[in-house]
Structure 1
Amino acid sequence: MRLIAAIAFKKGVPPLVIQLFSKSLEAACKRTHSRGRHEQRLLHTSPDKLKAEEQDELKVWLAQDPHPERLYNALQHMRTVYAAHTEESGKEALQQWIAEHLTSPTAAIRSIAKTVVQWRESIQNYFSFRVTNAPIEGTHNKVEVIKRRAYGYRNIERFKIRIRLECKPAM
């Protein structure tokens, strides 16, 4: 298993938690026969970044089934946890999130809450240091895509050059 350290995605929620919510929301969308990418975008976008008509559309869609609505609300609650400005308030908000969602009627949320409990110490480190591993995760993803696209390089030096070209640091 690959080591996922931390802690948090730059804008608020750790990659591990986001992945868990993404998979759960995707499964819920498939079960309710959603219209696809549009709903996925609405579900994953912070409500304050949605237009008024998109917010209304999301409310109508979520009202049809309580399962995705609970997932969505748990994700938004997690976003408020990571918006905490101080170490103490962040740790308190995380504990409150765990207590509220550990006994959720939705199995996916309970599973995510159990994972958050396991990663609690690493997640709490975010509130102390505000450090993220998102850039490393992004670079790792790019290298994996290069490997898949290449079907293996015979010359390792050319493989290294390709990685350096595509993963050069942002200016």
Structure 2
Amino acid sequence: MRKEGEIYFEVKYSKKVKIPECPYKCKGCKDKREYIVRNGKAKERIIKAGKVGTQRIYLIHRPQRYMCKKTGKTFRDEKISYRWQRITRAETENIVKGLRKMSISATAKEFGVSVRTVSNLLDSIEVKVDWTKFQDMEDIKLGIDEHSFRGFKMVTTIVELNTSNTIAILKSDKKEELKGFLNKIPYEIKQKITEVAIDMRASFKNAVKEELPGVKVVADHFHVVKDAQKKLRESIKIEEEVTNNNKKIPVKLFFLNGKKLLKEKKKVKKLYKTLKEHPYLKEYYRYLLMLKWMYKAETYEEGKRRLHILIEKMEESEDPQVWRWAKTYIRWEKEILQYFVNRTTTAKVEGRHTHIKLIKRISFGFKEVLRYTKKHNHPS
């Protein structure tokens, strides 16, 4: 039924249109047009072609049918829309672009199609990395970090740090998945990759070293400090359990910035009082401050000297947990100090994660990881 405010155009085929090639690959048929003849027209189809203002445009289309005289097989010449679809090819591309900014249901409502149609379009997309846009670059730096897809299910984000372009979102955070992606990078592009910034995950480091030998790996300083903060929080929980006091330790005091502490003298006194009451925490808090002091170094040599001082102090501790902590810094020494060469971080990857979280909220979450990665990986 036609409604008011809708515009309809009838599509007619000219007799001069060439007979298309046969889609069937029959054995012994050399010329794909030799046995093809016109075989009437298919039933009338109404195809959505977009919108002008508030008015929707439809095309009344009767596709030309063809038949192979040799086999008797028939087929239609689908020039306006893809097979079995009631949307033009141009409108299909607009729907896919709309998925970058809207949820599946919102996109379906905007373009006047069903949710199933939009979901099927998303499933049919074949995402490939366009490496041609990196061919003219002399220096390529990659940022690799994971984020939550749904609950504890993690996916991996890969960003080119110089241009802030998202290269891909992998469907898991496993080492094999990352190795498979790095292995498929063209040889010319691999030769231009100089640095890869990651968090403190051994699987990421090993995958990069195996697939990109010679590339410098940088341990992101934000994640190194965050790991130290995590250990301090764990020590605070242990202290609360051991002391069995009803009073909770003011955790926020330990993570205040130095400038804020100088302005608020009451909080400084409260912090000193807490450290006196809980001397076990004093050691962990000192290591956190020393780590931040290490990252304030202006040169590679100074950063190396400060890191060695931190490791020496940790090795003098009587706490086995601190010894394990020191061994972590020994294993990651090259990657931590590589930060002082070019100050490379994964900040742009974290910025991309903020945009991804926004799309997740707009889409009210995702159930299938493949749809999730396709929605983010497909170019707008």
Shorter-chain TM band:
0.7 to 0.9
Partners in 1 of 2:318 and 2:370 — Cα distance?
53
Please state whether the residue corresponding to 2:204 is helix, strand or coil.
coil
Change (3 A) 1:89 1:158: closer
Aligned to 1:95: 308
Q: Does 1:29 pair with 2:242? A: no
Q: 1:40 to 1:159 in 2, by over 3 A?
A: farther
Partners of 2:369 and 2:331 lie apart in 1 by 41
Give, in whole Å, the separation in 2 of the partners of 1:23 and 1:48.
Answer: 22
Among 131, 134, 147, the alignment partner of 2:344 is 131
Aligned with 2:225 (options 18, 24, 49): 18
Give 1:23 shift.
2.5
8 Å CA contact 2:366–2:372 kept in 1: the answer is: no
Deviation at 1:30, TM superposition (A): 1.8
Partners of 1:67 and 1:92 in 2: how far apart? 26
Deviation at 1:61? 0.7
Runs of 4+ in 1 over 6 A off after TM superposition: none
| Cα distance change on mapping 1:35 and 1:27 into 2, 3 Å | same
Structure 1 position 104 matched with structure 2 position 311? no
Given the superposition, is the C-alpha separation of residues 137 and 107 from structure 1 closer, same or farther in structure 2, using an over 3 Å criterion? farther
Check 1:153–1:65 CA distance in 2 against 1; reply closer, same or farther (3 A cut): same
- From 284, 294, 303, the counterpart of 1:71: 284
Aligned pairs, how many? 156
Q: Structure 1 unaligned runs (5+)? A: 165-171
How far off is 1:54 after superposition? 1.0
Greater Cα radius of gyration, structure 1 or 2 = 2
In terms of mean alpha carbon deviation, does 124-133 or 100-109 score higher? 100-109
Write 1 or 2 for the structure with the bigger share of helix. Answer: 1
State the AA in 2 paired with 1:69.
K
- Structure number with greater CO (CA < 8 Å, separation at least 6) is 1
Per-residue CA deviations over 1:7-49 (Å, capped at 9, x if unaligned) read 333xxxx41x32332222222222333636xx32221223332
Confirm or deny: 8 A CA contact 2:239 2:280 kept in the other structure.
no
Q: Percent identity, aligned pairs only?
A: 23
Task: Say if 1:24 and 1:108, in contact at 8 Å, map to a contact too.
Answer: no
Q: Which runs of 5+ in 2 are unaligned?
A: 1-200, 206-216, 241-246
Q: Which residue of 1 aligns with 2:270?
A: 57
- CA RMSD in angstroms, aligned pairs only: 3.4
Output the amino acid matched with 1:42.
L
Tell me the TM-score normalized by structure 2: 0.36
Tell me the equivalent position of 2:253.
Answer: 42
> Of residues 210, 216, 219 in structure 2, which corresponds to 1:7?
219
Supply the distance in 1 between the matched residues of 2:345 and 2:324 (Cα, whole angstroms): 23
Q: Deviations over 1:38-95 (max 9, x none)?
A: x322212233322211111111111112221100001001111111111211111111
Pair 150,159 (structure 1): closer, same or farther in 2 beyond 3 Å: farther
TM-score normalised according to structure 1 size: 0.72
Partner of 1:167: none
Indicate which of 371, 374, 380 corresponds to 1:156: 371
Shift of 1:158: 9.4
Q: Tell me the secondary structure at the aligned position of residue 32 of structure 1.
A: helix
